[in-house]
């Protein structure tokens, strides 16, 4: 595999991918956000940290935190997307969590939550093969599940952190899908103690990424690399991404066809 730092999603439709992800389509009537997802703030260039924080607080006060806050900049249509857009949307959630989530070590991601249908982490075939000798796994509706509370949890720490599956790396994101249209979106589980700051940072970063791509297109260029992504995120007090985690997200993205 090539050096992860050289990874760039396929270029031809990359700019349109970022635009489609960041700029919501004007007609939402055919694909409403599910009722369980909070009324997310519309993205626009003038959006500020204080506005995002206020919106989060209003949602939490009115509805509580046992819900999902939608992130409009992370909606796209999987059915109509090209390979570049699919790879970008596979890569971005892992990057955003690794780069911006300020984990408080509460281990709520490893325990039962308010989603009645979420009984544990659904494992891929490869993940199940790696973990089956370390803990008890269950089969449900043809899927292999690592049931909550996570059997690898030791106090409030993961005993095999480097082997954690995609579902763990994805938290506090939660995916929803409109089966009628093929549109998918990401929301943030509000009960995570670090979710509010994460929500604010993700929205602001995605707007910055969009502007960066627009400027690059106007200058006749396209694509981006990790150094540029890291530069865009530098003043958000980001986490340092380990080489292992970077390699993981690159492989996940490159596996998309």
Among 185, 158, 199, 208, residue whose Cα is nearest residue 74: 185
Residue 179 burial by CB count (10 A; 0-12/13-18/19+): exposed, middle or buried?
A: exposed
- Rounded distance, CA 232 to CA 99, Å? 11
Instruction: Write down the pLDDT at residue 45.
Output: 57
Work out the mean pLDDT of the chain and round it to a whole number.
81
In the structure, what pLDDT confidence band is assigned to residue 233 with cuts at 50, 70 and 90? very high
Q: Residue 109 — φ and ψ, nearest 5°? A: -65, -15
The pLDDT of residue 249 is above 80: yes
Domain ranges (residues) in the chain: 1-23+33-101+172-201+229-257, 106-169
- Interstrand relation of 68-77 and 37-38 (parallel, antiparallel or unpaired): parallel
Instruction: Write down the pLDDT at residue 150.
Output: 93
The mean per-residue pLDDT over the stretch 83-106 comes to 92
The pLDDT of residue 234 is above 90: yes
Which pair of tokens denotes residue 6?
């050289």
């Amino acid at each position: 595999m090539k050096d992860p730092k050289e990874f760039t999603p396929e270029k031809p439709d990359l700019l349109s991918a970022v635009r489609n992800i960041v700029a919501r389509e004007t007609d939402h009537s055919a694909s409403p956000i599910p009722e369980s997802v909070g009324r997310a703030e519309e993205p626009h260039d003038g959006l500020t940290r204080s506005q995002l924080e206020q919106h989060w607080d209003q949602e939490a006060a009115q509805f509580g935190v046992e819900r999902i806050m939608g992130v409009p900049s992370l909606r796209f249509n999987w059915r109509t997307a090209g390979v570049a857009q699919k790879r970008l949307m596979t890569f971005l959630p892992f990057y955003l969590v690794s780069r911006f989530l300020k984990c408080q070590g509460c281990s709520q991601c490893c325990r039962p939550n308010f989603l009645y249908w979420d009984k544990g982490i659904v494992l891929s075939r490869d993940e199940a093969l790696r973990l089956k000798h370390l803990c008890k796994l269950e089969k449900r509706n043809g899927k292999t599940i690592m049931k909550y509370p996570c059997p690898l949890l030791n106090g409030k720490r993961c005993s095999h952190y480097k082997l954690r599956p995609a579902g763990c790396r994805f938290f506090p994101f939660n995916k929803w899908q409109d089966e009628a249209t093929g549109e998918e979106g990401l929301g943030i589980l509000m009960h995570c103690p670090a979710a509010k700051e994460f929500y604010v940072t993700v929205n602001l970063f995605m707007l910055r990424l969009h502007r960066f791509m627009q400027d690059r297109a106007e200058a006749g260029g396209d694509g981006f690399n990790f150094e540029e992504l890291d530069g865009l995120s530098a003043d958000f007090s980001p986490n340092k991404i380990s080489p292992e985690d970077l390699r993981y997200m690159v492989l996940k993205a490159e596996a998309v066809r």
